[in-house]
Chains A and B, each alone.
Chain A
Amino acid sequence: MSDMGSPRRDRLLRGVRVARWATGLGAAGLTAAFSVAAAHAFKGHDGHAKAVQTAPRRRAAHARATVPGPDQVPSIAADGSLQPPAQAPQAAPSETQQPPQAQQQAPEPPVSGGS
Chain B
Amino acid sequence: MIASATASWAAIGTTVSVHVTELEALETAQRHVQAEVVAIDHACSRFRADSELSRLNARAGRATPVGPLLSEAIAAALRAARLTDGIVDPTIGEALMLAGYDRDFAQLRPQAGRLRAARVPGWRVLRHDPARRLVIVPAGVQLDLGATAKALAADRCAAAAAAACPGCGVLVNLGGDIAVAGPAPEAGWTVGIGDDHRGPADQAITIRSGGVATSSTAVRRWGAGRHHIIDPRTGIPAGACWRTVSVAAASCLDANTAATAAVVLGPAAERWLTERGLPARLVASDGTTVAVDDWPQEVPAA
Contacts and interface: CB of A to CB of B under 8 A. Distances in A.
Given A65-B134, A113-B193, A113-B195, A93 B278 contact: no
Contacts of A69: 124, 127
Interface string B224-257: 0000000000000000000010101111011001
Contacts of B218: 114
A110 B17 contact: yes
B216 A85 contact: no
A71 B122 CA distance: 13
B2 A109 contact: yes
Interface residues of A, number: 40
B220 A114 contact: yes
A67 B204 CA distance: 46
Nearest to A83: B250
Chain A interface SS verdict (over half): loop
Given A113-B195, A114-B196, A89 B279 contact: yes
Contact of B296 (A70, A77, A81, A90): A90
A111 B217 contact: no
Nearest to B190: A109
Interface string A11-23: 0000000000000
Contacts of B14: 115
B166 interface: no
Given A62-B62, A92-B204, A112 B1 contact: no
Nearest to B171: A110
Interface stretch (A2-10, A26-34, A40-48, A100-108): A100-108
Interface string B72-83: 100110110111
Contacts of A102: 1
B82 to A, nearest CB: 7
Contacts of A108: 192, 199
A84 to B, nearest CB: 4
A87 interface: yes
Contacts of B2: 106-107, 109
B142 interface: no
Contacts of A75: 79, 82
B173 A110 contact: yes
Contacts of B98: none
Contact of A76 (B79, B132, B197, B210): B79
Contacts of A39: none
A81 B261 CA distance: 13
B276 A114 contact: no
B210 to A, nearest CB: 4
Nearest to B263: A114
B51 interface: no
Nearest to A85: B210
Interface of B: 1-3, 6, 14-15, 17, 19, 62-64, 72, 75-76, 78-79, 81-83, 123-124, 126-130, 132, 134-136, 150, 171, 173, 175-178, 187-201, 203-210, 212-220, 244, 246, 248-251, 253-254, 257-258, 276-279, 293-299
